[in-house]
Each structure stands twice: as structure tokens, then as C-alpha cells.
Amino acid sequence: MIAALVTDEIKYCPRCASALVRRKHFGHLRPVCPSCGWKYFTDPKVAVAVLIEKDGQVLLVRRANDPQRGLWTLPAGFVDAGEDPILAAERECLEETGLRVKVTGLLDVIFGLEHLRGAHIVIGYRGSIVDGVLRAADDVDRVAFFPSDDLPELAFSATRKILYKVR
């Protein structure tokens, strides 16, 4: 259903500028150019999240923007086209928390779109702090370590899945 909404956003062929029509191809209705035959396939959005643990506590960030403003999540964000997901995870952690981290392992790969602007796939990593000064930045307004048995309200089910997987 949500994928159908995304395909409604593309109206004209990027090759010849003709108006697109919806036709069934490869089992789904998708935008197709009646002039040149180009077909639109929605690529999944991929995000990464990093679990940082220190002294029995987990690092969380509080969202400063919608959706789920004011709720907590792991440091996370989208992977840019052509970007290594591990480097994206380390970049996002630095941008949001001020901490340089090193990814030390894969925790989970989670499928499921939670909101229209969200990711289809979330890759959860474990990481360790290399250096830096803890501070809220980018699209978060607070960062803090929490005991794993006393977490604040979490923003996303992917966050819950990653956190509860390591408990």
C-alpha cells in the first residue's frame, strides 16, 4: 500500500518527459512510459542504527523532528546512495551524538516501513566509542545513556527489536 503511494509521486518519464501510465509489470502496477517503455521500480530506503553500550547502559537520542518528535531511538539515519552502510552508521552517530564510533558487529536487519518518510530496511549494528564529546546535534535535541532495564518511551519498533535482541 505504501509503495503504491510512492509510485504516485512520479508523473513523467525521466528519459523522454512523456506522461506515465500505470501498467502491471512483474506482478505489480507501476508507472510505465507509453512512449519509450521505461518502467519505474521503487528502490527501498535503507537506514542504519548503532547500539552503543557503556557501563551497562545504552546510548539513546531524542528526536527533535516528526515523526515521533520527543521520543527516543538509537543514533540512526539513512544510507546515502553509494555509501557503505557501516560508514553511514559511524557518520550518523557522529552527527547526532558528537561521538566517533567504530562499528564492531551486525545485530539485525529489519524489514518494515513504519511511516511514509521512513526506511524499508534498517540495519542494526553494535559499536564502540573511539573518541568525542557527547552532545546533541543534527536532528536530535538530547542524548543520554540509559540503563537497559529502564528505557524511556521509544520511537520505533526497529529500535525496540534491536534493543530487546541484546537483552
- Could you tell me the domains of the chain? 2-32 (no CATH), 46-165 (3.90.79.10)
Higher pLDDT, 4 or 105: 105
Asked if the model's pLDDT at residue 165 lies above 90, the reply is: no
Give the distance from CA 111 to its chain's centroid: 11
User: Which pTM was predicted?
Assistant: 0.88
pLDDT digits (tens, 9 = 90+) for 96-105: 999 999 999 9
pLDDT at 83: 98
Cell of 32: 510505465
Asked if the model's pLDDT at residue 75 lies above 70, the reply is: yes
pLDDT at 16: 98
3-state secondary structure of 88: helix
Contact 160, 68 (CB under 8 A): no
Contact 59, 163 (CB under 8 A): no
Neighbours of 62 (CB within 10 A): 19
Q: CA distances (Å), 47 to each of 70, 74, 138, 145, 152, in order?
A: 20, 12, 16, 22, 22
Phi-psi region of 14 (alpha: psi -120 to 50; beta: other; left: phi over 0): alpha
3-state secondary structure of 2: helix
Sign of torsion, CA 163 133 99 156?
A: positive
Confidence bin at 116 (pLDDT 50/70/90): confident
